[in-house]
Amino acid sequence: MFNKATELLNLCKEQNKKISEIVMEKEMKHSKISYEELIDKMNDILNTMVSSANSALDKEVISVSKISGGNAKKMETYKNKGNTISGNLINSAMARALSTSEVNAAMGRIVAAPTAGASGILPSALLTTRERFNLSNEDMIHGLFTAAGIGEIIAKNATISGAEGGCQAECGAASAMAAAAIVELVGGSVETSLHAASFAIINILGLVCDPIAGLVEFPCALRNASGVANALISADLAMAGIESMIPFDEVVEAMYKVGKAMPESLRETALGGVAATPTGEEFKKKNL
Amino acid sequence: MKDYGVFDILGPVMIGPSSSHTAGAARIGKISSEIAKGFFHKVTFNLHGSFAKTYKGHGTDRALVAGVLGMEPSDERIKDSLNIAKEKGILIEFIETDLGYVHPNTVKVDFHYKDRDDFYVIGSSIGGGNIIITNINGNEVEFSGDYPTILLKYKDQKGSISKISSIISNEDINIATMKVSREGDIATMVMEIDSPIEDKIIDNISSLNEIIYITGINPITR
Ligand code: SF4
């Protein structure tokens, strides 16, 4: 059992195991299921993720409210022209994150990871890493367990809900989960995974939750795109050997406190941030 | 500290856009219709708070209807549920209302029948797809639907509770929680048990002559 990252790190060290291995063992005990059942369940999750991350790339998926959609396809088309500023990998990652966000807003099937609002980040991060390093399905599944372990620590010690902690909690958690998983997948150490997860949260500490008209669309889809970029660069920062001065557990606590200090208007009420701008208000009036 | 498992973090697999406004709404709809039972020809959804304000954009309307039609939160037909209800000849009505001091995401679901009285269920979607059912046709209750749940209404007599619980334990099933409330001599019981509910148990309990109403609800897989 582990509640904190320090405990997880110790378990990994004592048993000379990866985060994913410790998380899988814990889960088998926790929910009393066999290894095969566990892998099967995660495989279902992975399949849903793969399909949501790809299905809006070649066709326009428009949201139920009709206020957004079609941007994943735009991004993919732009990337395919080969003249992007930040490169193929980042652009492809953003397109896939947008895809899941758009599928979600259009009432398609997604995996809450850890929430529906932030569901685009982790699938895209893993698929992008798979493509770059030719990883296997099994690697993806391991990556998902690593991500879940990091998510559990955040959920237990802070929050993963935008209504409670702002977008730093939702998209922050998703990016941290993804960053730690990427590091493990490319062969980084447990410490490096935790540095990457710390960076991902620190990079967006204080980010507010301000969905226009209260709908999980704008700025949510954008924050999924920037969230996956955040995960990828955080993983690179850590793999370069840069260390977080603040340990992950303390970063999580800081995030929680910042969330608590946020006024309610910036926590999913659509009463602050871009939701409360004149244009945001106009959308709200038209759509409610 | 609340305990989390891997699939609380990665999951549920659901139809978007919102775990509280869509997935939770579908669960409330599904459980409500399992409680109400029978062939209703019309359903009225009385939407409160945030449900009332944002139900269209979040697809709460479609999710609720999908739920009463028996669909689960991961069913891709949720999107078309309004049409599916129409094809089945079930009338659907949405009313924005104020249900008083209740959770902001609350709905009162009225089931209308041709052959019997209306029946209602009130439920709230409390986040992450989790729900609570708070009222069944005027009887205040509180349960989440996360565990196999048996709902009972019976004429309270000496020994009723022990008769009911011995039927359960004879089947080697463990009772996790049991809540009983009483109005006059009519008692309402909500019982959560540790194993899935089989028809046999419901049949055995309903053979007791004090039973007025009984239903068993198995959890929606997540
Ligand atoms: S802005 Fe709010 S609703 Fe949108 S993704 Fe961030 S936390 Fe979720």
Higher pLDDT, B157 or B128: B157
pLDDT of residue B217: 93
Distance from CA of A247 to the nearest CA of B (A): 20
> Residue A269 — pLDDT band, cuts 50, 70, 90?
confident
pLDDT of residue B130: 86
Is the model's pLDDT at B53 over the cut of 90?
no
pLDDT of residue B104: 86
Domain containing residue A109: CATH number: 1.10.4100
Instruction: Kindly report the protein residue whose alpha carbon is nearest to atom 8 of ligand 1.
Output: A117
Is the model's pLDDT at B222 over the cut of 80?
no
CATH topology of domain B149-217: Alpha-Beta Plaits (3.30.70)
- At A269, give phi and psi (nearest 5°): -90, -10
Pocket test residue of A207, A268, A274 for ligand 1, highest count of atoms within 8 A of CB: A268
pLDDT per position as a tens digit, B165-214: 999 999 999 999 999 999 899 999 999 999 999 999 999 999 999 999 99
Picking from A106, A112, A214, the nearest residue to B19 by CB comes out as: A112
> Residue B56 — pLDDT band, cuts 50, 70, 90?
confident
Per-residue DSSP letter, B72: -
Amino acid at A155: A
Cβ(A110)–Cβ(A79) below 8 Å: no
Per-residue DSSP letter, B145: S
**CATH number, domain B6-137:** 3.30.1330.90
pLDDT per position as a tens digit, A183-193: 999 999 999 99
Least confident span in A76-85, A195-204, B121-130 = B121-130
pLDDT per position as a tens digit, A26-79: 999 988 899 999 999 999 999 999 999 999 999 999 999 899 999 999 999 999
**What's the rounded mean pLDDT across residues B31-50?**
95
Ligand 1 centroid to Cα of residue A97, in Å, is 14
The complex's ipTM works out to 0.96
Cβ(A180)–Cβ(A143) below 8 Å: no
User: Is the C-beta atom of A197 inside 6 A of ligand 1?
Assistant: no
- At B152, give phi and psi (nearest 5°): -135, 145
For residue B54, what are the CA distances in angstroms to B44, B95, B170? 17, 13, 48
Residues of chain A contacting residue B19, judged by C-beta atoms under 8 Å apart: 112, 115-116
Residue B100: count other Cβ atoms within 10 Å of its Cβ: 7
> Residue A288 — pLDDT band, cuts 50, 70, 90?
low
> How is A66-118 classified by DSSP, letter by letter?
SS-B-HHHHHHHHHHTT--SS-HHHHHHHHHHHHHHHHHHTT-EEE-SS-STT
Q: Of B93, B92, B100, nearest to B48 (Cα)? A: B100
Question: What's the domain range around A138?
Answer: 5-286
Q: Is the bond preceding residue B148 a cis peptide, omega within 30 degrees? A: no
**What's the rounded mean pLDDT across residues A13-22?**
98
Picking from A116, A217, A287, the nearest residue to B19 by CB comes out as: A116
Q: Which pTM was predicted?
A: 0.90
Domain edges within chain B: 6-137, 149-217
Cβ(B107)–Cβ(B58) below 8 Å: no
pLDDT of residue A286: 84
pLDDT per position as a tens digit, B70-114: 999 999 999 999 999 999 999 999 999 999 999 889 999 999 999
Q: Tell me whether B16 touches chain A (CB under 8 Å).
A: yes
What's the number of domains chain A is made of?
A: 1
Cβ(A264)–Cβ(A165) below 8 Å: no
Distance of alpha carbon B56 from alpha carbon B175, whole angstroms? 40
